[in-house]
A and B are shown apart, each in its own frame.
Chain A
């Protein structure tokens, strides 16, 4: 409980984030330690980790951490920009690990409430020497030197409070002799004496000065205090005037017990002398809402009463925290339950002709309803609103626009949209890059450039999230200068990122997609926030890893819109089971446009063997699943089978199947590793009769189809 008070403090957040980043870093290093060199994505990743830690340690003013990470960031900056050969890999690995160990050591000191006072000089010197050699090597190899990596001092600082971890917590109860006069005044002098050493002091009854009757309460029930202090027990006892006291109970509490005791004292009758307690109660209550200016107005003091906040405290929600692994396990179990349910309800034994099943059907209907609800509940437990993520984005827009001296307004729509917790973790970084890019590259440098185009001088960025059709759409839209297709094309050609084709051979979307190629950056001059070419390729990689994609729309001079499209959940989909030959396949319901029966005359046969189908004047590629996967005993005459029109990212493909079996919830399982990876299949599932069905991957089918051509 006590930890809960601190888990969201600025320092804890820094420790947590940096710890995570370092873990990731070590993962990369250890995986690649025996390789010849780091590949580009590793270099980008390490650069980013160092950049992030450098930034946040700068704000918190841990200068030794900042210096060390800054140096290593520099090293990786040169590696990334110049791609020199013959980098001494082992030495580099050692350097990275040395930095990682150093920072971890400093973080540990912080965790223990010590000052991070590690001496960074030797390490920085080593890195400098290494960097010097690296630069020499770059020159020798005749590679152009990139411009120096600019290091901007942070403009905002956070001063961590003096560590309070060595504080002691006491519960002190004083029982006065029953004939004591003015026990309330005595009690007050006790609190007064303790104020000198108290970091936090809470006592009950709380109106001892203004209410004379409180004296009787003190005589009857005793006077209780909760004290947080750095002083030792003896020092505290010496401060309390023990004359007239019949009994003084003095318990040392742990932080956790102290937290509980605070709650027992309750807010209503709590008097706080130090601000501490107010804050803690405040933090607890406010966990869900984000703070606003004006939340912390203090009511004018009533005589003898402690401070209370003017704003009414919302009722506390009772919340327990659950290990994510347990949630994942529950999720898996529910997946199994859905399969088991299908196995029972579609059991082949039930298919005996002439069975009277009406009672069974009723019961099974009930069961299905409950399992569906169960699924919904577990899903909603994993759902979190995007509020926090969007909050970060506001900060970024604010920071970057201030830094670049651009006047930008940020509109946020749908920040309460809820998505799976896993997904939130994966989209924060990509979204951050998109927003930075919009502010930095999207919006014009000068307000005049905007006004001459008839746009308002103030730039506008819209951040929008919405749920639609089982997918989450998060878009970052700016009304800036948009993307210039010729420039993008030229740049991609110059950098050798694409094959030599004419610009007219690419669609607009394909051209926009160039910016997601690694090593692509259109801005001549890189700035602190973006344009180092780290962003977009990493964005796409992160998004793809959770089954999402990035959609880019842009009109030159009018603005751009980047949309992340991500599946709402990853584990259970709604699918239609179809049969080809003796094999069942599953197709995700959302990607099916229609089922049609067509005549032989709608088919077009190309000499190369490809086939097309013409439907209502539109021409679609046609794939016979039985031929593709060599399935025997299947229908090959188009007129007898069913044609399914599938859509993925705006392109369509038709497949031929034998018959439709049923629609059901499908628990997606990965194809076991001992099966060779087959294109066009994304996973498998177990059907009610126990057989295994393969899940069609529309994107895979389309790509494969494209390659064949």
Chain B
């Protein structure tokens, strides 16, 4: 499975990279714009990602913007919703309105930090990724 991770905080990045690498090849980005670029590039090369993990507070573009951009790109390219990439937000912004907004923008899961690794894996399972 191909994974895209966007996370600007070094410690979190290292942790997530280690966790995610167990499931597949993990590309790591440090800001929101890079994440969108990487996502686009993967689409161009016809090697789309299966999973995108997005931090919210990042330089240049925040996670919600990235999520929106990804969904926009997908709909523009006529990728059906069921075939879209699975997106998991990973952030410490846990208040209900933020979570709801993210759901509205179309993420599959919202993981509050510090991340519950066990549940995270369960979600990957439910999303049919592992």
Residues facing B in A287-317 (CB within 8 A) are 290-301, 307, 309
A394: which B residues are within 8 A, CB to CB?
Answer: 104
Contact A296 B95 (CB under 8 A): no
Q: Which of B62, B93, B96 contacts A298 (CB 8 A)?
A: B62
| CB-CB nearest in chain A for B98 | A291
B83 CB–A CB distance under 8 Å: no
B126 touches A157 (CB 8 A): yes
**Nearest CB in chain B to that of A157: its residue:** B109
Any B CB within 8 A of the CB of A199: yes
A275 B57 Cβ-Cβ under 8 A: yes
Q: Out of B12, B62, B100, B120, which one reaches A294, CB within 8 Å? A: B62
In the complex the two chains form, is A61's CB within 8 Å of B99's CB?
Answer: no
Stretch in contact with the other chain, from A159-167, A363-371, A424-432: A159-167
The residue from A159, A276, A293 contacting B119, defined by CB atoms under 8 A apart: A159
Interface residues of A in 247-279 (CB under 8 A from B): 274-276, 278-279
Q: Please, how many angstroms separate the alpha-carbon atoms of A156 and B113 in the complex?
A: 17
Q: Is the CB of B95 within 8 A of A8?
A: yes
Query: With A10-B112, A156-B107, A275-B57 in contact, do A395 and B62 touch (Cβ < 8 Å)?
Result: no
Q: Does B116 contact A (CB under 8 A)?
A: yes
User: Beyond A290-B97, A291-B97, A395-B104, is A297–B60 a contact (Cβ under 8 Å)?
Assistant: yes
Q: Is the CB of B110 within 8 A of A298?
A: no
Would A290 and B59 be within 8 Å (CB), given that A199-B114, A298-B8 are in contact?
Answer: no
Q: For residues 107 through 155 of chain A, which have their beta carbon under 8 Å from a beta carbon of chain B?
A: 153, 155
Q: Which of A153, A161, A392 contacts B94 (CB 8 A)?
A: A161
For residue B90, which residue of chain A has the nearest CB?
Answer: A159
**Do residues B112 and A275 form an inter-chain contact, with CB atoms below 8 A?**
no
Which one of A290, A292, A296, A301 contacts B56 once the chains associate, using CB atoms below 8 Å? A296
Q: Is the CB of B93 within 8 A of A296?
A: yes
Residues of B within 8 A of A35 (CB): none
**Is B14 positioned at the interface, with any CB of A under 8 Å from its CB?**
no
Asked if A153 contacts B126 (CB within 8 A), the reply is yes
Contact of A290 among B58, B62, B101 (CB under 8 A): B101
**Chain B residue at minimal CB-CB distance from A295:** B62
- Whether A159 and B111, one on each chain, are in contact in the complex, defined by CB atoms closer than 8 angstroms, is yes
How many angstroms from the CA of A399 to the CA of B105 in the assembled complex? 10
Bitwise, B5-38 to A at CB < 8 A (1) or not (0) is 0001101100000000000000000001000000
What's the nearest-Cβ distance from chain A to residue B15, in Å? 12
Which residues of chain B come closer than 8 Å to A297, judged between CB atoms?
32, 57-62, 65
Complex Cα gap A398–B103 (Å) = 9
Q: Residue B95 contacts which of A10, A153, A199, A292 (CB distance < 8 angstroms)?
A: A10
B81 adjacent to chain A (CB < 8 Å): yes
Contact among B57, B92, B95 with A161 in the assembled complex (CB-CB below 8 Å): B92
Contact assessment for A296 and B57 in the assembled complex, using a CB-CB cutoff below 8 Å: yes
Residues of chain B lying within 8 A (CB to CB) of residue A161: 92, 94, 111-116
Chain B's closest residue to A311 (CB) is B62
B51 within 8 Å of A (CB atoms): no
Contact indicator per residue, chain A 395-433, by CB within 8 Å of chain B (1) or not (0): 100110010010000000000000000000000000000
Closest to A388 in B: B97
> What residues of B have a CB within 8 angstroms of the CB of A159 in the complex?
88, 109-112, 115-116, 119-120, 123
Does B64 sit within 8 A of A, measured CB to CB?
Answer: yes
The total number of A-B Cβ pairs within 8 Å is 139
A377 within 8 A of B: no
Q: Does residue A282 face the partner (Cβ distance < 8 Å to B)?
A: yes
Minimal beta-carbon separation of B65 from chain A (angstroms): 5
A659 contacts chain B at the CB level, 8 A cutoff: no
B4 within 8 A of A: no
Distance A309 CA – B62 CA, assembled complex (angstroms):
10
Q: In the complex the two chains form, is A402's CB within 8 Å of B65's CB? A: no
Flag if A9 contacts B96 (CB, 8 Å): yes
Cα A9 to Cα B93 in complex, Å, equals 9
Chain A residues, Cβ within 8 Å of B123: 61, 157, 159
Cβ-defined contact, A8 with B114, below 8 A: no
For B107, what are the chain A residues with a Cβ–Cβ distance below 8 Å? 156
Give the CA-CA distance A398 to B12 in the complex, in Å. 32
Nearest-CB residue, chain A, relative to B122? A61
User: How far, in angstroms, from A72 to B98 measured CA to CA in the complex?
Assistant: 31
Min CB distance, B67 to chain A, in Å?
7
Q: Write the nearest CB–CB distance from A184 to chain B, whole angstroms.
A: 21
Contact between A10 and B96, CB atoms less than 8 A apart: yes
Neighbouring B residues of A293 by C-beta, 8 Å: 62, 64-65, 67-68, 101, 105
Q: CB within 8 Å of B: which residues of A?
A: 8-13, 61, 153, 155-162, 164, 195, 199, 274-276, 278-279, 282-283, 290-301, 307, 309, 391-392, 394-395, 398-399, 402, 405
Q: Which 8 A-B pairs have the closest CB atoms?
A: A161-B112, A293-B64, A159-B111, A296-B62, A157-B109, A8-B95, A13-B96, A293-B65
**Besides the contacts A61-B122, A274-B92, A279-B94, what 20 more A-B pairs have beta carbons closer than 8 Å?**
A8-B95, A8-B96, A9-B112, A10-B96, A11-B94, A12-B96, A153-B126, A155-B108, A156-B103, A159-B123, A161-B113, A164-B114, A275-B9, A282-B93, A293-B68, A296-B63, A297-B62, A298-B58, A299-B59, A300-B59
Interface CB pairs A-B, < 8 A, 17: A8-B97, A9-B94, A10-B95, A10-B99, A12-B96, A156-B103, A156-B110, A159-B116, A159-B119, A159-B120, A162-B114, A291-B97, A293-B62, A293-B64, A293-B105, A307-B57, A395-B103
